[in-house]
Amino acid sequence: MKKVTGLGGVFFKCDNPQSMNEWYAKNLGLPTSEYGATFEWRQADNPTKKGSTAWCTFPKDTQYFNPSAKPFMINYRVENIVALVDELRKENVTIVDEIVAYEYGKFVHILDPEGNIIELWEPMDNLDEDNQAV
């Protein structure tokens, strides 16, 4: 079973997200908005399919990365998140929450052995109209 298919995003805490977004836009040319930046690309094995990677700043007091105390979170694109979570449970990986579905995909959070929060994302381009893996 294919697991991680790519990098979905990089998220990090900072004192002033708006100021950081402005700095990255001015000095490194990132096309930022209040939510950060999104980089679109084409899949190597199927160039007709698009993908995206997010870059986002968060306030330093965000609870979104909990239970991790680390100032960052990595998001990985995955295929068939339900089957993957079943496999991770069998390997005693800490599953932080339940899989949730949104219009842009399914998400779940896990912890690695050092307590880093990892967000797994199955994008909508991997799901059919009933939010089932294709």
Mean pLDDT by 10 residues, the chain (134 residues): 88 96 95 92 86 95 95 96 96 97 95 96 68 46
- Asked whether residue 134 is domain-assigned, the answer is no
Number of domains in the chain: 1
- Asked whether residue 131 is domain-assigned, the answer is no
pLDDT at 34: 87
What residues make up the domain containing 49? 4-126
pLDDT at 132: 46
SS3 state at 27: helix
Phi, psi torsion values for 115, nearest 5 degrees: 85, 15
Output the domain CATH number for residue 78. 3.10.180.10
- Asked whether residue 132 is domain-assigned, the answer is no
- Asked whether residue 74 is domain-assigned, the answer is yes
- Asked whether residue 24 is domain-assigned, the answer is yes
Sort 23 into a burial class: Cβ within 10 Å, 0-12 / 13-18 / 19+.
middle
To which residue do tokens 């909990």 refer?
A: 66
Secondary structure E strands in the chain:
4-14, 37-43, 46-59, 72-78, 94-95, 100-102, 105-111, 117-123
